[in-house]
Chains A and B, each alone.
Chain A
C-alpha cells in the first residue's frame, strides 16, 4: 500500500515537496525489485520518492529505453536466450574493451522479450524474470499517472557510445531524441517555475557537452554528474580535479542547476572504511548556487562506512544534517522517506 499520496483529480494532485532534500529513487526501488522496471518505479512512488531516476539508452532501431549498463548481461536473462547467443561481442566503451550483449545491437521488440533480474546476490530475487525493459515513454507515463506529483530524473547515458552506434534517419543525435521525448510529454520550464512544479524534471549526465547541447534545446534544469576521482569525462576527457575546480563549476553553472557527485568523493573514505576529512565540494557548489545530489545511498552494511554503525539512517542523518546536501539518490526510497518524516516531526 502507498506510504504517501491519496486520491484526487489530476489537477489537484499533492504537489512535490520542496522543503527538504529530494528523495531520488535510484533506478526505482531497486533494493527491492529489479532495477529500471515499471514495477520498481511504481514501488518507489508508493514509497514516497520525490523523483524516479532512470538511465536512458538507445536500441538498435533508435528507441529510447530505461537501462543502466551498455550490456544486458548483468541485469537481464539474455544469456538464457539461445536465439541471441550470436550477438555477444566486444566493443570499446569509455576507452575500455567490454564484452557482452550490447543494448545497441538489439531492436526494441527483441529487448521486450527479455526479463529483468536483480543485480545483487544479497537482494530479493523473487521478482527475477517477471518484468520487461521499459521505454523512456513508459517511464514518463509511470510518473505522470501517479496519484501525486512525482518528478522524473532521466540520465543521458553514455552519449558518446550511443551516438557512435545508433543512427537516426533524420540525422538527429541521441540528445535531441532525448529532449524531444520530454517535450512531447509537456516537460519544460525553468527550475521551480509553475510549469516545472507541474511536471518536475532534472536532466542529468556525466557528459558536459551533452548538457551544453541539451541547454540549447530546453530550459528544464540540468544536473552535471561527477564520477569517481579516477574517471575522466567520456566526451571531453577531463579529469576529476578539473571538472570540480572553481573555474569549471563557474563555467557549468551557466548550464546546470546542480552537480551529482559520487558520495565517496565528497567525503572520501579511509582505507579501513571510515570517513576521512570532507572535501570542500559542497561548499564550492553552494557558493555558486549549485545544488548537490550525491549518489548512491544503499542500506546494506557493505555500502556503509563504519562511522554509521551499520545503520542506514545514521548515514542519511550525516549527509542531510552535517554535509548539507540537496538531494539523495537512494536504492531505498522508503528508508529515506521514513527517516525524513520521522526527523521532521522531531524538529518541532
Chain B
C-alpha cells in the first residue's frame, strides 16, 4: 500500500457507515454464487451488491504467506489438476483425523499459487469466469474492503489452524494465529465491538477452533465469533463434541472471548426428509448469554432449500430473520439478501413524506373492508 493517501482515497471521512440496525449481510466467500469464490472479483461484486461484510477463509502457503482459500486442497476450485508441472505434488495428509488426498495449499509457495486460476465449485453455477482470477492474499482481501466507497467489514476465518501450524513454520517462531493478527493490526484493525474504531473498520474474527480464539484474544480486542460445525463434528483442536460446545456451561465460558456464534443453520433448525423440524433452543440460549448468532450458509438454489420454503430463497430469509431471529447471515448470494432486506426493512433514511403516507394509507386500507 502507498505510504500516503491517493487523491481518490482522501474522502474516507465521508464513507457511508456500516448498517447496524438489521441483521448483517455476510458475503460468504464473496458473491460466490456468481463468481469463483474468494477471488478479488467475487469480493468486489459482493460490495457492489450491498454486503455488510465480506467473508474469507485464511490459510497459509508453504512459504508462510496468508492467502484466501477455503479448502486445504486445491483440487475443487482451481485448475491445479491440469498443470503438469505440479502433477507430482499430489499427496495424502491427515486433516481433522481423516486422510485427505490432493494438492495441498501448504505444499505450494505463494508465487506458485498465483499461477493457478480459480474456478466455480458447483456445476450448476455460472462457469463463465473460470480460469480468469487468481488466488489472493489476506492483504489483498483487506485492501478490497478498505478501498470500497462505503464502509465494508471483513470477516476472516482462522482456518484449519491445527493443520496449518503442523505444516507451516515461520522463521520467527510465530504461529499461524499470530501472523493472522499481525496482518490485521498492520492494517489498523482494532477496537471492541461497536466502538468508534470498530465502526470505521468493522471486523469479526471467526474460527471453529476455540483455542485459536482464546489465543488471539490476548493480542487483539476485536470481536470474535465461534463457529460451530455439524452435530457429528468434533472441534479440531480440543476434540469436543457438538453437545459440549453448545452447552450452557460452555457458552458461559466462551462468551468471555467471543461476541457471537456461527452455527451451521441445519443444527439450529434441523431438517428431516427436507422438512424443517422444531427449532432447537440454541438461538435463545445464545441471546441469553448476550451472544449474537450468525448462521451459515444461505444459498438460493432449490437443492439447498427445505420444502417449507417452497423453492423461494426469500422465504428462507424471512424465516431466519423474522421467526428465528438471527443477527447475521452468511450467504453465497449477497445481492438476494440485500434485496430482501431493502424490500422488508430498508434504511430508515430512505423514508420520505410520501412513503410515510403510503404506509398510513396501507394501514387504513386494512380496515376499509370492515
In B315-370, which residues have CB < 8 Å from any A CB? 315, 333, 335-336, 339, 342-344, 346, 352, 354-355, 358, 362, 369
Contacts A310-B300, A343-B343, A348-B358 given: A334-B310 contact, CB under 8 Å? yes
Cβ contacts A313-348/B at 8 Å (1 or 0 each): 110000000000000000010110010001101101
Complex interface: chain A residues within 8 A of B315 (CB): 334-335
Cβ contacts A278-316/B at 8 Å (1 or 0 each): 000000000000000000000111100010011111100
Q: Across the interface, do B339 and A301 meet the contact criterion of CB distance under 8 Å?
A: no
Q: Is A95 an interface residue (CB 8 A)?
A: no
Output the least CB separation between B310 and chain A (Å): 5
Contacts A332-B312, A343-B343, A348-B355 given: A313-B302 contact, CB under 8 Å? no
Q: With A and B bound together, what is the CA distance between A291 and B120 in angstroms?
A: 40
Q: Across the interface, do B352 and A348 meet the contact criterion of CB distance under 8 Å?
A: yes
Q: Is A160 an interface residue (CB 8 A)?
A: no
- Please indicate which of the listed interface residues B125, B343, B362 has the most CB atoms of chain A within 10 Å of its own CB: B343
Q: Across the interface, do B128 and A272 meet the contact criterion of CB distance under 8 Å?
A: yes
Q: Is A82 an interface residue (CB 8 A)?
A: no
Complex interface: chain B residues within 8 A of A274 (CB): 128
Q: With A and B bound together, what is the CA distance between A299 and B352 in angstroms?
A: 33
Q: Which residue of B lies closest to A298 (CB)?
A: B311
Cβ contacts B288-319/A at 8 Å (1 or 0 each): 00000000000011110001001111110000
Size class of the contact patch on chain B = 35 or more
Q: Is A123 an interface residue (CB 8 A)?
A: yes
Q: Is B124 an interface residue (CB 8 A)?
A: yes
Q: Across the interface, do A346 and B346 meet the contact criterion of CB distance under 8 Å?
A: yes
Q: Is B126 an interface residue (CB 8 A)?
A: yes
Complex interface: chain A residues within 8 A of B303 (CB): 122
Q: Is B33 an interface residue (CB 8 A)?
A: yes
Q: Which residue of B lies closest to A123 (CB)?
A: B311
Partner of B343, one of A299, A312, A346: A346
What is the total number of residues of chain A having a CB less than 8 Å from a CB of chain B?
32
Q: With A and B bound together, what is the CA distance between A272 and B343 in angstroms?
A: 31
Partner of B335, one of A311, A338, A346: A311
Q: Across the interface, do B302 and A122 meet the contact criterion of CB distance under 8 Å?
A: yes
Contacts A126-B307, A306-B128, A345-B358 given: A300-B302 contact, CB under 8 Å? yes
In B121-156, which residues have CB < 8 Å from any A CB? 124-128
Complex interface: chain A residues within 8 A of B273 (CB): 126
Contacts A301-B301, A301-B302 given: A309-B343 contact, CB under 8 Å? no
Q: Is B248 an interface residue (CB 8 A)?
A: no
Q: Which residue of A lies closest to B125 (CB)?
A: A310
Q: Across the interface, do B312 and A309 meet the contact criterion of CB distance under 8 Å?
A: no
- Please indicate which of the listed interface residues B303, B311, B343, B369 has the most CB atoms of chain A within 10 Å of its own CB: B311
Q: Is B34 an interface residue (CB 8 A)?
A: yes
Q: Which residue of A lies closest to B306 (CB)?
A: A124
Q: Across the interface, do A306 and B339 meet the contact criterion of CB distance under 8 Å?
A: no
Q: Which residue of B lies closest to A347 (CB)?
A: B358
Complex interface: chain B residues within 8 A of A348 (CB): 352, 354-355, 358
Q: With A and B bound together, what is the CA distance between A310 and B35 in angstroms?
A: 12
Complex interface: chain A residues within 8 A of B339 (CB): 311, 313-314
Output the least CB separation between A287 and chain B (Å): 33
Output the least CB separation between A322 and chain B (Å): 15
Partner of A299, one of B34, B125, B302, B346: B302
Output the least CB separation between A253 and chain B (Å): 36
Known: A123-B311, A306-B34. 16 other contacts (CB 8 A): A31-B311, A126-B273, A126-B307, A299-B302, A299-B312, A301-B300, A301-B301, A301-B302, A309-B34, A310-B333, A310-B336, A311-B333, A314-B336, A332-B312, A345-B343, A348-B355
A-B contact pairs, 23 of them (CB 8 A): A31-B311, A32-B310, A126-B307, A272-B127, A299-B310, A299-B311, A302-B124, A309-B33, A310-B33, A310-B301, A310-B333, A311-B335, A312-B311, A313-B339, A314-B339, A332-B311, A332-B312, A334-B310, A334-B312, A335-B312, A343-B343, A348-B354, A348-B358
Residue ranges of B at the interface with A (Cβ–Cβ < 8 Å) = 33-34, 124-128, 273-275, 300-303, 307, 310-315, 333, 335-336, 339, 342-344, 346, 352, 354-355, 358, 362, 369
